Amino acid sequence: SESNSESRGALIVLEGLDRSGKTSQSSNLLKYLEGLGHSAELWRFPDRSTDVGQMISSYLTNKSQLDDHTVHILFSANRWEKRSLMETKLKSGTTLIVDRYSFFWGGFLAPEDGLLAPDLVLYLDIQPEKAAERAGYGGERYEQLEFQRKVARCYEVLRDASWKIIDACQPMEDIEKQLQEIVLDCVTICQKGKPLSNLWS
């Protein structure tokens, strides 16, 4: 294994619209890093396994109604409840590939302040119309073209020069190769001692 007790793992986030390919590419990246002997885990937000996650899940599947502010705070709480485990994992040398984090829809809100900042944000860029043509919007609350258009505009506001923008309409294998190269660079920089930091600080 290339990891040792002094080197930390990288916090790598994939963002993008629904059907942009985040989930497939996240598991590809996990296999890739594990194949190289790195310690790595796949995480996703919302994490529906917790109590807060269950509240979010029932909102997303239209089983409960909540106002927007409440939902944003729940999404944020869902990250806070994982923060210390996240830090422990990173410090023990495990790289985390995270399928969505703070940047979706309202990620600029104060409750995010103090969460761990990603070392890398990979944005799988796709037009909302193109994403809608792909098979299987799952029928959850947010999986509608009109909403995805708003989300796309929101990402445009949130993203900054540090994000790596990947054209999500290329062949999957090409995307996979590009992601691997960028991620490996990032993992190496983190191993060499780049400090962890907090969002917005």
Residues forming the site for ligand FDM (CB under 6 A): 18, 45-46, 60, 75, 100, 104-105, 142
- Residue closer to ligand FDM by CB (options 21, 46) is 46
| Least spacing, CB of residue 60 vs ligand FDM, in Å | 5
| Least spacing, CB of residue 3 vs ligand FDM, in Å | 27
- Residue closer to ligand FDM by CB (options 80, 142) is 142
Cα separation of 78 and 68, whole Å?
15
Cα separation of 70 and 37, whole Å?
41
- Residue closer to ligand FDM by CB (options 30, 60) is 60
| Least spacing, CB of residue 148 vs ligand FDM, in Å | 9
Question: How far is CA 114 from each of CA 24, 43, 111, 147, 200, rounded to the nearest angstrom?
Answer: 29, 19, 8, 28, 7
Q: Which two tokens stand for residue 149?
A: 């258009």
Find where tokens 């990246």 sit: 29
| Least spacing, CB of residue 86 vs ligand FDM, in Å | 14
Can you give the three-state secondary structure of 78-104, one letter per residue? HHHHHHHHHHHHHHCCCEEEEECCCCC
- Residue closer to ligand FDM by CB (options 93, 166) is 166
